[in-house]
Amino acid sequence: MESRSVLGARRMNGLTARSGLIAFFVGLFSLLGPGIAIGGIYEEIAPLLKSRSYQPALNKLTRHLKSRPHDPEARFQLGIVQTEMRRYDDAIRTFRELSEDHPKLPEPYNNLAVLLANREKYNEARAALLKAIETHPSYATAHENLGDIYAQMASQAYGKALQINSSNKTAKTKLALVKRLFTNRPGSGRAVAHIPAPTKPAIDPAATRAAALAQKRQQARQEEMLRRQQIAEEEARLARERMARESAQAASKPKQQAPRVPAPKIPNNEEALRQLAAKRDADLRRQEENERRLAQKQADQTALKQKVEEAVRAWASNWSKQNVDGYLSFYHREFKPARGGSRSAWAKKRRRLVSKPRSISVQLSSLSIELLGAASARAVFKQSYRSDSYRDRVTKTLTLRLTGQGWKILREESEG
């Protein structure tokens, strides 16, 4: 499911070998959780990437991110475009910030490591790849890149050892092996970063797990067939040995007519093998069903969290636009003011405070959503408020309830 991304090397001269990099960037998937598919801005810039029209693609992504600065897909594609345009500092910053904002995504860590390795910052690249593997232990590309990072670090260490002691034959041998591992193709003076236009992934985690379970089931059947063959061969061998012993015993009594030796009866283990295979199939089906249910549950939770986030950001947007009716519509009819009093008195005061300033700006950051049930959620974030006469920055907690008109605020609390 992951695209190819491997580390290569420049030509190595003498004892001060420098490493370079060949990278095929992976495509982003499961950005917001299981079941989230990529579309939108990717479909708009894909033709531009394919035709290598990077400046128009950059302009389109920049405009998109002005209105949706937290869109992880657009930020990932921005890093790819920046790399294609050789804006490596910008690309490193983009992938670093994306990995900080979405620490459970392995792909930004991997691409950050590729760029850092191109600058021979192997310790930082290694740390990024370890993060990718920590979030996604079966991420084969990150494992392979990590191995190449260790090989390049080993090359540097062997070169340093030879600088200190040029007669160290063991270090020479090991350095030669590492050089051979990273030798470039004929005619290539150096390895350069190359990033093909990404293809639109359509990854269904449940389907991926189902395919993996089907493969396990097929492997189990093949193992059972091999075991069945081994049992039959072993029983035939034992039968031949028994026949040979009985023939030898008969030959030692020449005066007696050798008794007829019946054909050996080989035990039939077919039924036991069938039962074992059936049990394994049933276990795999149960595991597959459990995986499917878990994936569906995670997808449902992700969708709920997305709806809650949309409601919170729409509430802040109406506040910034001083759309008082729209702002107040996000409060539940059972909303209780934090400082007491009736809801109607609170609403009257808020209407005056929201409409009075000439301008208002409400910015949210570090937004996290926690589901408290199927129809209840908690949103915690940092809120920066600024008007022409007042400004503050607080940590705010909203408790919301799902109604027929969407998510509504039941309780609003501020700290700081």
**Cα(311)–Cα(337) distance, rounded to whole angstroms?**
19
Question: How far is CA 283 from each of CA 228, 273, 277, 278, 302, rounded to the nearest angstrom?
Answer: 20, 15, 10, 9, 29
- Residues 174 and 150: their CA atoms lie apart, in Å, by 13
Q: For 32, which DSSP code?
A: S
Q: Phi then psi for 357, rounded to 5 degrees?
A: -65, 155
From CA 287, how far away is CA 321, in angstroms rounded?
A: 51
The distance of Cα 382 from the centroid of its chain, to the nearest Å, equals 27
29 token code pair: 């998937």
Query: Of 327, 368, 370, whose CA–CA distance to 346 is shortest?
Result: 327
CA dihedral 27, 112, 179, 157 (to 10 degrees): -150
Contact indicator for 399, 378 with CB cutoff of 8 Å: yes
In whole angstroms, give the CA distance from residue 119 to residue 315: 44
Structure tokens at 269: 């283990």
Q: Find out whether 35 and 298 touch, Cβ atoms under 8 Å.
A: yes
Query: Using alpha carbons only, how large is the chain's radius of gyration in Å?
Result: 33
Please, how many CA atoms are within 13 Å of residue 358, restricted to the half-sphere of its CB? 2
| The pairing of beta strand 376-387 with beta strand 360-373 | antiparallel
The answer to whether 22 and 6 are in contact (CB under 8 A) is: yes
Reading the block at residue 373, the tokens are 């049930």
Q: Which two tokens stand for residue 88?
A: 């490596």
The CA-CA-CA angle for residues 101, 106, 107, to 5°, reads 95
- Mind listing the pLDDT tens digit of every residue in the chain (416 residues)? 343 333 333 222 222 222 333 333 443 333 333 333 345 677 888 899 989 999 999 999 999 999 999 889 889 999 999 999 999 999 999 999 999 999 989 999 999 999 999 899 999 999 999 999 998 898 888 888 998 898 888 888 888 888 898 888 787 788 777 777 666 534 333 333 333 333 334 445 555 666 677 777 778 777 877 877 788 777 777 777 777 777 777 667 655 555 565 655 545 567 777 788 888 888 888 888 888 888 888 888 899 999 999 999 999 999 999 999 999 999 999 999 988 889 999 999 999 999 999 999 999 999 999 999 889 999 999 999 999 989 999 999 999 999 999 999 999 999 97
In this predicted structure, what is the pLDDT of residue 46? Answer: 87
- Is the C-alpha dihedral spanning 409, 411, 412, 416 positive or negative? negative
The CA distance from 81 to 56, in Å, is 10
Residues 6+ apart with CB under 8 A from 358: 387, 388
**CA-to-CA separations, 3 to 29, 152, 190, in angstroms, rounded:** 11, 22, 23
Tokens 């049990």 appear where? 279
- Please tell me the distance from the alpha carbon of residue 5 to that of residue 115, in angstroms, as a whole number: 12
The residue whose two tokens read 């607080």 is 394
Global confidence as pTM: 0.40
Round to whole Å and give the CA distance between 308 and 73: 20
Q: Give the Cα separation of 287 and 279 in Å (integer).
A: 12
In sequence order, the 6+-apart residues with CB closer than 8 A to the CB of 359 are 322, 387, 388
SS3 string, 265-294, reads CCCCCHHHHHHHHHHHHHHHHHHHHHHHHH
